[in-house]
Copies of this chain bind each other. A is one copy, B any other.
Amino acid sequence: MNVYISTIGDEILIGQITDTNSAWMSRQLNQNGFKIVGKSSVADDKAAIVQGMEYGLKQADIVILTGGLGPTKDDITKKTLADYFGSAMEFHAPTHERITQYFTRIGRVLPPSMESQSTLPTKALILENKVGSAPGMWFKVENTNKIVISLPGVPFEMEHIMTEQVLPRLKEHFRITPIAHRTLLTAMEGESNIAKRIETFEDSLPSHIKLAYLPGMGEVRLRLSGYLHSSASSADFEALKLEIDQKTDEMHRLIPDLVYGKDNQTLASVVGDLLLEQNKKLGTAESCTGGYIAHQITAVQGSSAYFEGSVVAYSYLLKNALLKVSPNTLVQHGAVSKETVTEMAQGALKTLNVDVAIAVSGIAGPSGGTPDKPVGTVWLAIADVDRVETHLLRFGRDRLKNIHLTSVYTLALLRKFLM
């Protein structure tokens, strides 16, 4: 089944925002056996919206539109779709009730401009939006089996409606041949070096199994996808899933040092599971990452069971006052040194009253480097009551990238420390 994605909004066309929605949708659709044949971005304008939709319908069975569903007057998508499909607009009680309840719960009165959000095309199947005001809409194109879906442009609202409503309905509406997927998650090694280590394995894969490299910042996901012929039975699918599992294990055995998890895990969730298992409490002492590692850890639901807290010590003063780094160490070796992060981690064990502590100090940039400690130099330490291990990391010049990479490496090395 072919899908065409069209994003609506002047803000994308003038480059004010980067379209991340269509990449997310593409990954989800792809994993569920749909093929994306094209994408486009069009203006907030009736003619442009219709033209983009018709262009998509020529090439695909499903056209998904995102954006242009807000309550203000520059959003004209809903009206455009109603006209296009010859549909009346009507008050939709369940949507009105849901929006009213939402405003009541946050202690506010429904603004009059929100009223229009409950007026919806009668020919559309309404896709409930549990996390925002504008619902999605599902139109059947008359005399065809084709579908046009309209979703809000706010990423988490779009993701919610896609996951809860669109994907299940699409799988039901179209008879799609399922695809079996498994993903290995790796950290701290680049795509080309991984490719070299699994080259023989990759070359030996049968033609119905494909390997994709999905690189992220400091991480690479390796996804195996298994395809069935169109007349396959459900028994064939079970056999395929087993085959994919076996191939995944085989690939894992080639790079055990790089793999930290599978499928939907994250570095922070894997570390969290280990801490829970071992009944250990974690704390962090952060300088250059400024709280970002603590944020990664606490982004995981339930992390309060194993995470005590963090000291973000940007200044010398706090490194000494809260983490007990000796002034002598700071003066002699500098804040970015093996000695300082060692004392930071040991200090954090006591100050935060935890079993395991991590500490990082580095030069995030873009300025502040010296010839022997250029921008991107980071020291990290991991300590428990018995031992301390330290690592020197060297990254580039981009501040946010350095902060993110430090977090990835720290969590990946913490995982190994715990194992």
In the assembled complex, A129 has its CB within 8 A of some CB on chain B: no
In the assembled complex, A55 has its CB within 8 A of some CB on chain B: yes
User: Which of A162-170, A324-332, A398-406 lies at the interface with chain B?
Assistant: A398-406
**A39 is contacted by which of B40, B213, B215 (Cβ under 8 Å)?**
B40
List chain B residues, Cβ under 8 A from A154: 215, 217
Q: Once the chains bind, are A290 and B301 in contact (CB under 8 Å)?
A: no
Q: Once the chains bind, are A299 and B15 in contact (CB under 8 Å)?
A: no
User: Which of A79-87, A104-112, A242-250, A269-277 lies at the interface with chain B?
Assistant: A104-112
Instruction: Please report the C-alpha to C-alpha distance between residue A195 and residue B40 in the assembled complex, in whole angstroms.
Output: 29
In the assembled complex, A214 has its CB within 8 A of some CB on chain B: yes
Known: A312-B291, A321-B353. A13 touches B39 (CB 8 A): yes
Known: A13-B36, A399-B299. A312 touches B312 (CB 8 A): yes
Give residues of chain A (1-54) contacting chain B, Cβ–Cβ below 8 Å: 10-20, 22-30, 36-43, 48, 52
Q: Once the chains bind, are B195 and A73 in contact (CB under 8 Å)?
A: yes
Min Cβ gap A410→B in Å is 13
Q: Once the chains bind, are B38 and A48 in contact (CB under 8 Å)?
A: yes
List chain B residues, Cβ under 8 A from A30: 14-15
Give residues of chain A (179-220) contacting chain B, Cβ–Cβ below 8 Å: 190-193, 195-196, 211-215, 217
Min Cβ gap A293→B in Å is 7
Instruction: Please report the C-alpha to C-alpha distance between residue A73 and residue B22 in the assembled complex, in whole angstroms.
Output: 27
Known: A312-B312, A313-B309, A321-B353. A41 touches B38 (CB 8 A): yes
Instruction: Please report the C-alpha to C-alpha distance between residue A204 and residue B311 in the assembled complex, in whole angstroms.
Output: 52
Min Cβ gap A71→B in Å is 4
In the assembled complex, A113 has its CB within 8 A of some CB on chain B: yes
In the assembled complex, A304 has its CB within 8 A of some CB on chain B: yes
Min Cβ gap A70→B in Å is 6
Q: Once the chains bind, are B43 and A40 in contact (CB under 8 Å)?
A: no
List chain B residues, Cβ under 8 A from A364: 298
List chain B residues, Cβ under 8 A from A26: 12-15
Q: Once the chains bind, are B298 and A308 in contact (CB under 8 Å)?
A: no
**A196 is contacted by which of B48, B111, B293 (Cβ under 8 Å)?**
B111
In the assembled complex, A315 has its CB within 8 A of some CB on chain B: yes
In the assembled complex, A253 has its CB within 8 A of some CB on chain B: no
User: Which range contains the number of A residues in contact with the other chain?
Assistant: 35 or more
Instruction: Please report the C-alpha to C-alpha distance between residue A52 and residue B196 in the assembled complex, in whole angstroms.
Output: 31
Using CB atoms, name the residue of chain B closest to A112. Answer: B196
Q: Once the chains bind, are A309 and B314 in contact (CB under 8 Å)?
A: yes
In the assembled complex, A72 has its CB within 8 A of some CB on chain B: yes
Q: Once the chains bind, are B301 and A366 in contact (CB under 8 Å)?
A: yes
Min Cβ gap A165→B in Å is 17
Q: Once the chains bind, are B38 and A13 in contact (CB under 8 Å)?
A: yes
**A353 is contacted by which of B43, B48, B55, B318 (Cβ under 8 Å)?**
B318
Q: Once the chains bind, are B298 and A213 in contact (CB under 8 Å)?
A: no
In the assembled complex, A294 has its CB within 8 A of some CB on chain B: yes
Min Cβ gap A223→B in Å is 7
Most-contacted residue by chain B among A15, A38, A217, A366 (CB, 10 A)? A15
Using CB atoms, name the residue of chain B closest to A193. Answer: B111
Known: A74-B213, A106-B396, A353-B318. A37 touches B48 (CB 8 A): yes
In the assembled complex, A297 has its CB within 8 A of some CB on chain B: yes
Min Cβ gap A319→B in Å is 9
Q: Once the chains bind, are A39 and B41 in contact (CB under 8 Å)?
A: yes
List chain B residues, Cβ under 8 A from A214: 11, 16-17
Q: Which 3 A-B pairs have the closest CB atoms?
A: A290-B298, A15-B26, A291-B291
Task: Give the interface of A toward B (CB within 8 A).
Answer: 10-20, 22-30, 36-43, 48, 52, 55, 70-74, 102, 105-107, 111-114, 131, 154, 156, 190-193, 195-196, 211-215, 217, 221, 223, 284, 286, 289-295, 297-299, 301-304, 307-315, 317-318, 321-322, 351-353, 364-367, 374, 376, 394-401, 403
- Cβ contacts A to B, 10 pairs, < 8 Å: A12-B26, A14-B212, A16-B212, A38-B40, A105-B396, A156-B401, A291-B295, A298-B403, A299-B403, A303-B314
